[in-house]
Structure 1
Amino acid sequence: MQKLKKIAIWVGVIAYLILISGFVSGRREAMLCNKVNIVIADSLSKRFLQKHDIVDLLGRNNLLSLGQHISQVNTDQVEKLILKNTLIKKCNVYTTVDGALNIDVWQREPVVRIIDNQGQNYYLDIEGSVIAMSHRFTPHLLVVNGNIHTPFNPNKVKNIYDREYTKSAATLRQIHAMALHIKASEFWNAQVVQMYVDKNNEFEIVPRIGPHLIILGPPNDYAEKLEKLKIFYTEGLNNVGWNQYLKINLKYKDQIVCTKL
């Protein structure tokens, strides 16, 4: 008898769930899209995007969906369109039973600004993805210019670590690795303002403090070279003064060659 009661209860629960599901489904079918909720998760720290940019993008591509049955809104299509913007790292698009189209967006985090040998400007984010320049927001970042080849259109979603760019983006990969190293160091992040790549693919660094130019040379062993320079700064320049040298050359192994002003 108890067993029959349990079965009856479960049958009742299942029937109720089916009824509610059908009710919600029917309500959803009839509901029109009446609003678009956009959340830009990190808009305080990165001001590349504003909500109206997303609205304008959807409007230009006839995907704003207002007045359309909510069940017919193609969230995948909306998401793919938004992710074509190089500023956007992640996007989550979904609808709710109250008739809302919800769009959550996360922006990329730039670590270095590139000015290549054709004068093209763009950023690289922490993962090596390209970020097109924005007219709205210019973050204070390390700038690298000079003999830099860009093997892709910087206005399209690309990553320098894609297999197709193994050779053609070699210099960009070196720059990116150094930029991450500099960003991770409180000392170097404050001291390094700009880097220049010469015709021999050797690097020069413009520091924030001091009139000297740092000749890094080939980018191999850059971490070791910078550590050696940091010791020279703290144990040498702190004693003799920071305005003594025109150039500090780190090209040669186990040596620091200085040219006086």
Structure 2
Amino acid sequence: MRRILKILIWTGLAAWFVVILGFVSGEADEVLCMRIDVVLSDTVHSRFVTDSDIRAMFQSEGLQLQGYPMREINTRELERLLEKNAYIKGAEVSTDVSGRMEIRLEQRVPLLRIMPEGKAGFYLDTEGEILPLSGQFVPHIFLVSGNIEDPDESAEASIQLGEIHRFCTYVSEHPFWREQIVQLYVNRRGEYELIPRVGAHQIL
């Protein structure tokens, strides 16, 4: 008798659990996106992207997410869209049953600014990726100028950029040199001239 009673109790609990799950699932299907929170990493060293930029990006793509059913939002497609931005290293989009969407972004961190003679230039980040110059954020980082070739023009130019990146990484990781050296100049012979923070002399 007790065994039968236990079976009935567990059967009832299982049925109740299934009903509750179905109810919650049905409710979740009807949830609308009511709030979007953008979380940006490393805003101390990198402020290329803002909350407003992300919302403007969605708007330019014709994406009206707020008020839209959560079940119809493809979070992976949103991540791919966000990662097309040169300043964004990684994106993670998640939603919950309260109607909240969270967008977590990892920004690229600029290491140095390249200023070839007669050209606008670009940044290299800590991983060696090329970033375009930004009109809204100017980082205080190592400057490299002079006779620097366009990396798209030749393999030698890519090798040169690799050497420059390795050198600037070394400088940035050593406090003494980081305080002493502020600029690297590439002369016409391809030699590197170090320009110190104090004094007018240069070091070949």
TM-score by length of 2: 0.87
What is the CA–CA distance in structure 2 between the aligned matches of 1:176 and 1:141, rounded to whole Å?
A: 13
Moved more, 178-187 or 3-12: 3-12
Matched residues in 2 for 1:66 and 1:19: separation? 30
- Tell me whether 1:91 sits opposite 2:80 in the alignment: no
Q: What CA distance in whole angstroms lies between the structure 1 residues aligned with 2:18 and 2:171?
A: 59
Is 1:205 aligned with 2:180? no
Q: Which has the higher contact order (CA 8 A, sep 6+)?
A: 2
Counterpart of 1:58 in structure 2 is 58
Match of 2:72 in 1: 72
For 2:129 and 2:3, locate their aligned partners in 1 and report how far apart those are by CA, in whole Å.
Answer: 61
Relative to 1, partners in 2 of residues 1:9 and 1:108: Cα closer, same or farther, differing over 3 Å? farther
Alpha-carbon spacing, 1:171–1:48, altered in 2? closer, same or farther (3 Å):
same
Q: CA deviation at 1:24?
A: 2.3
**Aligned equivalents of 2:7 and 2:150: distance in 1?**
68
C-alpha distance in structure 2 between counterparts of 1:199 and 1:176, whole Å: 19
> Is the Cα contact below 8 Å between 2:46 and 2:110 reproduced in 1?
no
CA contact (8 A) 2:145 2:186 kept: yes
Q: How far 1:83 moved relative to its partner?
A: 0.9
Give the match's secondary structure for 2:138. coil
* Alignment equivalent of 2:172, drawn from 183, 200, 221: 183
Identity of aligned residues (%): 35
Report how many residues are paired: 204
Residue number in structure 1 paired with 2:35 = 35
Q: CA deviation at 1:182?
A: 0.2
Instruction: For structure 1, list consecutive stretches of 5 or more residues without a partner in the other structure.
Output: 154-164, 216-261
Match of 1:194 among 177, 183, 194: 183
Contact 1:117 1:149 in 2 (8 A): no
Matched with 2:150 is 150
User: What letter is aligned with 1:123?
Assistant: Y
CA distance in 2: counterparts of 1:150 and 1:9, whole angstroms: 75
Is the contact between residue 180 and residue 197 of structure 2 (CA under 8 Å) also seen in structure 1? yes
**Amino acid corresponding to residue 211 of structure 1 in structure 2:** A
- State the match for 1:114 in structure 2: 114
- Report if the CA contact (8 A) 1:63-1:78 is conserved: no
Which residue type is aligned with residue 139 of structure 1?
A: P
Unaligned runs of 5+ in 2: none
1:79-137 Cα deviation digits (max 9, x unpaired): 11111111112211111111122211121111111113551322111111222211122
The superposition leaves residues 59-82 of structure 1 with CA deviations (integer Å, 9 ceiling, x where unpaired) of: 110223122111001111211111
Q: 1:13 to 1:168 in 2, by over 3 A?
A: farther
Separation (CA, whole Å) in 1 of partners of 2:72 and 2:172: 46
- SS of residue paired to 1:200: coil
Alignment partners' CA distance in 2, 1:11 and 1:203: 79
TM (norm. structure 1) is 0.69
The answer (yes or no) to whether the contact 2:112–2:123 under 8 Å persists in 1 is yes
Following the alignment from structure 2 to structure 1, what is the Cα–Cα distance between the partners of residues 7 and 152?
64
The RMSD of aligned alpha carbons is 2.6
Larger CA deviation: 66-75 vs 39-48: 39-48
Q: Which residue identity is paired with 2:54?
A: I
Stretch of structure 1 that moved more, 34-43 or 79-88:
34-43
SS at match of 1:169: helix
Whole-angstrom CA distance in 2 between matches of 1:83 and 1:174 = 27
